[in-house]
Amino acid sequence: MERRIVFTPSGLDGVVQDGVTVLDAARQLGVDVDSVCGGRGICGRCQVTPSIGVFAKWGILATESSLSGLAETEINYHAKRALVPGNRLGCAARIFGDVVIDVPAISQVHRQIVRKDLDLDPITVDPSFSLFYLTVPASQLGDSVSAAQTLANEVANQHSRTVPQVARRALKTLHGVIAKGDGEVTVAVRRTDGLEQIVAAWPGFVDTAYGIAVDVGSTTVAGHLCELLTGEIVGSYGVMNPQIRFGEDLMSRVSYVMMNPGGDRELTKAIRIALDDLVGNLVETAGVDRSNVLEMTIVGNPIMHHIVLGIDPTPLGMAPFVLATNESVSGWATELEINLPNACFYVGPCIAGHVGADTAAAILAEGPHRSTEMQLLVDIGTNAEIVLGNTQHQFAASSPTGPAFEGAQISAGQRATTGAIEHLRIDRNTLEPRFKVIGSTLWSNEPGFAESLGDTVITGICGSGIIEIIAEMYLSGIIDTDGVLRGELAEKSSRIVADQRTFSYLFYEHDQIKLFVTQNDVRAIQLAKAALRAGIDLLVEHAGSPVVHDIRLAGAFGAHIDPVYAMVLGLVPDCPVSGVRSVGNAAGAGAVQALLSRSLRHEMEKTVRGVIKIETATEPRFQELFVAAMAFPHKTALTPNLELVIDLPARAELSANGAGRSGRRRRASNLVAE
């Protein structure tokens, strides 16, 4: 007898014969139901929820007798692992009446996962790998079928699939795996470009496989260990990029290669050792064997991209900045000297000579190409990458901001570690500072601050603190709109100190430690922020001078910038403050998406091919925009939105004919103190 079955939430329905299992019915109708063990009641991934009652929409009356009673495999599974209350195993429950079956998220291959730690939108898990548990018949003398062909045939026979190929690198393990598992084997099948290959095998039943997504930054390397079949991030870890010893910024490292024969091999060796150490920490912390990692996605700027792959980066250090390839690159992890015996690697595509796979991944994560409104995405690091676009078109550029924002080239600057000042405020009347230090939750003027530090010594100021102190110095009148430290204020405050021909601001003093912001420090920040802002303004012009109300600050540094202070400095154009937000490591988020979803990986590759690259070095307007951006917040651009939330110092404004005239800016409420 024929029975009607409806699957939710997909809405797929059809007619099946009495006695067919729910899993087989799902396969017949193309319903997304997971199963690793091939219907043996071992993995529990095919759990479904039968719905009982009248469903007028489909004309179905479903009763408890619509499915068979609990099978022995379900009873055994429940005794060992416990079924979710109300659920049945799709591989064991048989259909004997019209029924409505809900497939919960835990049983969907392409389940929706929401990630908070990487600020990811919901994504559909669609990995390149599937696991299949097999019972392999014992070989007999005279059999002409190889171990590889036997496994491939059993994947097809036991899981109703086409016969996969067997990757050559997997051949050496097959005999041992079959023998050790006493005929019970789990294989990993990789799907790529229409080809299915067995790439790994393990003895016995295995229901977890892992992948690692890595963002190789010029300063830090961040990795995330993900369970490929569920999409869960089971571990994250970051290390400093050891290439820093060859130069703080990318061009310094390229110069090192140019001046030192074999320097490219040194850089490649350093980053590959760091990647292998990163992998080791991730798997050890999570209790995962390296052999269970099947894929590694890697993104980075073009120079990191080339160095990881062992490609000479020197062509990227001189015009015309030609990439060896802008396409994605795949291979086996062992080719990169990373000890992952069963893993392949995928290095994302680059956009142009100074806009790399990290920007491609950030675009994927934040989606300017999916936005109807114009979105500005800025990844601030030693080299700032800028993307401006919407569904119609996307533009990209890079600006050489240098390492000033991260503390380098600043007299009291340092990395964001314990003992670094990360937030700072200056009293508008007394010019006295107060601050917060990494390692303490208290402000320096709060009771118990000194005790909260314990043995921690205040040693400098990190990137977020640098942004805030320069902005506060401008808001307090210590520096003017052109960035000049006002020496006449030395009569008002002992914090203003003569420094040869210029002046400095003393913001911390204890025992023998004195920390200053010098005139050169202010200039370094001006140069960095002007390079960034000029690049943004250039893209705005190419896009038709749109009004941008969606500004996203990405990267490890961008994630800690206060949007108000970013606008005070003029890092980004004026817009409603609520429209400026930090999105964390967007490149890392995109790398995770590309790891877990083939469709998103294809979307990234398709999108970046349509991005219009603007080369700032050849744009005649760049220098003019750069000069205007040197001022705080900007020489000519108005800031009506910023003035709604904070008092800005008076400045000379431009008349219609460009002549300067005296005037005061509209004032609003003071920035609320933290």
Using alpha carbons, list the distances in angstroms from residue 530 to 19, 335, 556.
72, 41, 20
State the pairing for strand pair 112-115/433-437: unpaired
Write a three-state SS string for 6-58.
EEECCCCEEEEECCCEHHHHHHHHCCCCCCCCCCCCCCCCCEEEEECEEECCC
DSSP 373: S
| CA–CA gap between residue 541 and residue 548 (Å, rounded) | 12
Domains present along the chain, CATH in parentheses: 2-107 (3.10.20.30), 129-203 (3.10.20.880), 210-347 (3.30.420.480), 360-403+524-661 (no CATH), 412-517 (no CATH)
| Residue 408 confidence (pLDDT) | 66
The Cβ of residue 84 has, within 10 Å, a number of other Cβ atoms equal to 13
Tell me the residue length of the chain.
674
Instruction: Read off the tokens for 560.
Output: 């800690």
- Whether the link from the prior residue into 341 is cis, omega within 30° of 0, is no
Helix (H) or strand (E) holding 358: helix 357-366
Partnered with residue 6 across adjacent β-strands are 13, 100
| Residue 653 confidence (pLDDT) | 45
Using alpha carbons, select from 256, 248, 342 the residue that is nearest to residue 295.
342
One-letter amino acid of 231:
G
Using alpha carbons, list the distances in angstroms from residue 47 to 39, 88, 104.
11, 5, 8
The HSE-up count of residue 559 (CA atoms within 13 Å, CB side) is 12
pTM higher than the cut 0.85:
no
Contact 12, 31 (CB under 8 A): yes
| CA–CA gap between residue 175 and residue 158 (Å, rounded) | 20
| Residue 120 confidence (pLDDT) | 67
| Residue 651 confidence (pLDDT) | 66
One-letter amino acid of 506:
L
| Residue 411 confidence (pLDDT) | 86
| Neighbour-count burial for 153-176, b at 16+ CB within 10 Å, e otherwise | bbbeebbeeeebebbeebeebbee
Helix (H) or strand (E) holding 152: helix 147-159
Annotate 184-199 with DSSP letters as a single string: EEEEEEEEETTEEEEE
State the pairing for strand pair 433-437/344-347: unpaired
Collapse the DSSP code of 539 into the 3-class scheme (helix H, G, I; strand E, B; otherwise coil) and give the result. helix
| Residue 469 confidence (pLDDT) | 96
Q: Which residues contact 183 (CB under 8 A, 6 or more apart)?
A: 135, 136, 137, 138
| CA–CA gap between residue 381 and residue 403 (Å, rounded) | 7
Q: Which residues contact 207 (CB under 8 A, 6 or more apart)?
A: 36, 37, 42, 43, 45, 131, 133, 186, 229
Using alpha carbons, select from 223, 191, 37, 29 the residue that is nearest to residue 126.
191
Instruction: Read off the tokens for 56.
Output: 């007028």
Per-block mean pLDDT, blocks of 10 residues, the chain (674 long): 87 89 89 79 86 81 92 86 86 94 77 52 84 84 77 90 90 88 90 88 92 91 93 89 79 86 91 94 95 96 94 88 92 96 96 91 95 92 87 91 72 82 95 94 94 88 92 96 95 94 94 91 93 94 87 80 92 93 90 95 95 89 95 94 91 44 40 42
Q: Which residues contact 492 (CB under 8 A, 6 or more apart)?
A: 431
Using alpha carbons, list the distances in angstroms from residue 541 to 146, 219, 383, 544.
64, 31, 21, 5
